[in-house]
Every structure is written in C-alpha cells, then in structure tokens.
Amino acid sequence: MVERKDVEFEAEGGVLLRGWLFVPDGPGPHPAITMAHGYAGTKDHGLEPFAQAFADDGFVVLLHDHRGFGASDGEPRHDVDPWRQIADWRRAVSFLESLPEVDPQRIGLWGTSYAGGHAIVLGATDRRLRCVVSQVPTISGYEQGLRRVAPEAVAGLEEGFAEDERAQFRGEPPRRTAIVSDDPAVPASYRTKEAIDFYLQPLPEGIWTNEATVRSGRASRMYEPGTWVTRVSPTPLLMVVALNDTVTLTDLALAAYERALEPKRLVTISGGHFDPYVARFAEASGAARAWFREHLA
C-alpha cells in the first residue's frame, strides 16, 4: 500500500509550492524521488501513474507543481521561467531531505519534456542527487524553434515578444497566449492533435487554463539545457527518448546523449513526444524504475 499526502513547502520569496507525497508501506527511511511536470502543465497531466509506480517499488516520491501552476502559489500565473523552476526544484530536494521518511543520501530526480531539460541541469549542478532520469527532454530551445516555427512567422513572433516587453514597461501585466489550438488564427505553442489531446485531457476543476505568458515563449527559445549534459557525470544519467519526437526532437536528444559521459544509459521507445505518458507508459516507466532500483535501492 502507498499513502498519498498533500504537502507544501516554501520556496524563495515565501512562495508556497504544493504537491503530492507518496509514502510506501514499511519501515523507513526510504530512498526518494523528486518529480515535476513539463512546459505549462501540472502534476495532474499524466504524472501520477509514474509516481505511483515508483512508490510501489518502495520509494518516497514528491511530485510538485511549479510556481504559478496547479496547486502552487506564485504570480503571474502560468509564467514559465526555467531558471526559477530549477531554483524551486532545489528547494523540493531540500524538503525531501528534511522528511523523517526519507534517506537523504538516496535521492533521485525524474523530469519529462521541459522538466527533462531541468533534470539535465540539476543533475549537472546539484550533487545531492544520486541519479537522474530525463524523459523526452528539451535539449535546445533555439534548435526547436528553428524547426517548429515557420521562417515566415519568426518576425511576427519576435514582434510579439517586443510588444509584450513594451507593455510591461508601461506597467501592464504580461501578455498571454494559448498553449494549444488547432485554429491557425489563434497564436499557440502547439498545434498537433497529440499535443491538444494531452493538454486538454480531463482535469480537476480549476486546475489549469489553456494559456501561458508570452514571455514564457521567449524564455523557452533561450533555454539550452543540452549545454550541461557533459557535466552530469559522475551522477548516473538515464535518457528516455521517443523515436518520432517532433516537439523536443529525437535527433537533438540522441546527440546530447552521445555527448554525455558515463555512467549513462539510453532507452528508446517508439512513438512521439506524448506517447510515454499513455501508449508507451509501461516501457518508459519500466526503464526509470529499473534505473532507480539500480542506483537508489
């Protein structure tokens, strides 16, 4: 049996971050895993089955919402700052270390998509982590932008960023854009059916809205977690890569894995970026479970 508790802890600026703590049966202290969601999502976006699977293996699991998302505090809402999320995630590690149920010498980290990029940065810069799993990770915001934004649309996108900066200078709140839309007239981060189905999956009332700040897009295009991949070693790194990933891009992930130093392991799964959450869940979660058992149990 696994108990799921609602928990909260304080991040910089007094912001309360909230999440779920999964505690397995049996005497502790237990090894632990810290998890968080990807770009503009919440912990409710398909992550609980991973947390439950890890807890079933005897790990305490902390799954938190980034500030400004889901159950966590923070303003403005739905503002994606990768470096703020990384700093907050360090507080999540410290929170785990403080719990009597947790062995602070055996903590691992799991991140997916945008947070898969965070996992690489944290693995390279926080030696409290004994191992890291990076699933379908963001490697290069710049390279992703080159492929996902049509050349003729770049000038308009950049002008939108500039107008948002001017508006904030005038004292206006950050402007907003949709996360997903199949309407070409509506500016949005993603337009594929798989992305729309993932983000618009049934969620608890009031947990999520289909928007993020415009400046989140600029931050995403500036974010280059792949530059840190050679520095993860000697922390063991598992990368789970989807072979038809058109969001964070398969070839970028494979090239980053080649640059990573040992100890490392690559697991490839068929399908696209969102398949690890449902269609290929058994493969993706199984690879992570094996990695955590090897390095934490």
Each residue of 94-123: pLDDT tens digit? 999 999 999 999 999 999 999 999 999 999
Residue 265 has pLDDT above 90, yes or no: yes
DSSP 148: H
Each residue's pLDDT tens digit, 159-211: 999 999 999 999 999 999 999 999 988 999 999 999 999 999 999 999 999 99
When the pLDDT of each residue in the chain is averaged and rounded to a whole number, the result is: 97
Query: What pLDDT is recorded for position 28?
Result: 86
Count the neighbouring beta carbons within 10 Å of the beta carbon of residue 204: 10
Is residue 62 within 8 A of residue 35, CB to CB? The reply is yes
How much is the pTM?
Answer: 0.97
High-pLDDT (> 70) share of the chain, % = 100
Is residue 289 within 8 A of residue 59, CB to CB? The reply is no
Query: What pLDDT is recorded for position 260?
Result: 98
Average pLDDT over residues 124-149: 96
Q: For residue 105, which amino acid is it?
A: Q
Is residue 133 within 8 A of residue 236, CB to CB? The reply is no
Residue 148 has pLDDT above 90, yes or no: no
Tell me the C-alpha distance between 253 and 139, whole Å: 6
Length of the chain in terms of residues written: 297
pLDDT band at 231 (very low <50, low <70, confident <90, very high): very high
Which residue ranges form the domains of the chain, and what is each CATH number?
2-147+224-296 (3.40.50.1820)
